Amino acid sequence: METNRTLGRGGIEVSALGFGCWAIGGEWQNTEGQPLGWGRVDDDESVRAVRRALDLGITFFDTADTYGAGHSERVLGRALGNRRDDVVLATKWGNVFDEETRTLTGSDDTPAYARRALTASLARLGTDHVDLYQLHLSDLDPARAAELRDACEEFVAEGLIRSYAWSTDDPARAAVFAEGEHCAAVQHALNVLQDAPDMLSLCAESGLASINRSPLAMGLLAGKRQGPQDAGDIRSRPPAWLQGFGDGTSADPEWLSRIDALKEILTSEGRTLAQGALAWIWARSPRTVPIPGFRSVSQAEQNAGAIEKGPLTAGQLTEIDRVLGR
**Average pLDDT over every residue of 272-284:** 98
The model's confidence at residue 233, banded by pLDDT at 50, 70 and 90, is confident
The ranges assigned to domains in the chain are 4-324
Measuring CA to CA, which residue among 209, 195, 110 is closest to residue 164? Answer: 209
Whether 242 has a pLDDT exceeding 90, the answer reads no
**Average pLDDT over every residue of 153-168:** 98
Whether 203 has a pLDDT exceeding 70, the answer reads yes
Q: What is the pLDDT of residue 248?
A: 63
Which bin fits 98, alpha (ψ -120 to 50), beta or left (φ > 0)?
A: beta
**Average pLDDT over every residue of 135-147:** 98
Q: Where are the beta strands (DSSP E) in the chain?
A: 4-7, 12-15, 19-20, 29-30, 60-62, 88-93, 95-98, 103-107, 130-135, 161-167, 183-189, 209-213, 288-290
CB-CB contact of 291 with 60 (8 Å): yes
Q: What is the pLDDT of residue 91?
A: 99
**Average pLDDT over every residue of 171-176:** 98
Whether 1 has a pLDDT exceeding 80, the answer reads no
- What is the tens place of the pLDDT at every residue in 2-29? 789 999 988 999 999 999 999 999 999 9
- What is the tens place of the pLDDT at every residue in 93-123? 999 999 999 999 999 999 999 999 999 999 9
CB-CB contact of 79 with 46 (8 Å): yes
CB atoms within 10 A of CB 2: 10
CB-CB contact of 14 with 4 (8 Å): yes
Measuring CA to CA, which residue among 19, 120, 145 is closest to residue 65? Answer: 120
**Average pLDDT over every residue of 212-225:** 90
70-84, 171-185, 190-204, 233-247, range with the lowest pLDDT: 233-247
Q: What is the pLDDT of residue 79?
A: 98
- What is the tens place of the pLDDT at every residue in 293-314? 999 999 999 999 999 999 999 9
How far is residue 259 from each of residues 2, 214, 225, 318, measured CA to CA in Å? 27, 15, 10, 16
Q: What is the pLDDT of residue 249?
A: 62
Give the span between the Cα atoms of 210 and 137, in whole angstroms. 17
Q: What is the pLDDT of residue 231?
A: 74
**Average pLDDT over every residue of 214-231:** 80
Average pLDDT, the chain: 95
Q: What is the pLDDT of residue 250?
A: 63
CB-CB contact of 53 with 19 (8 Å): yes
**Average pLDDT over every residue of 231-242:** 79
Q: What is the pLDDT of residue 96?
A: 98
Q: What is the pLDDT of residue 237?
A: 80
Q: What is the pLDDT of residue 257?
A: 94
The CATH code for residues 4-324 is: 3.20.20.100
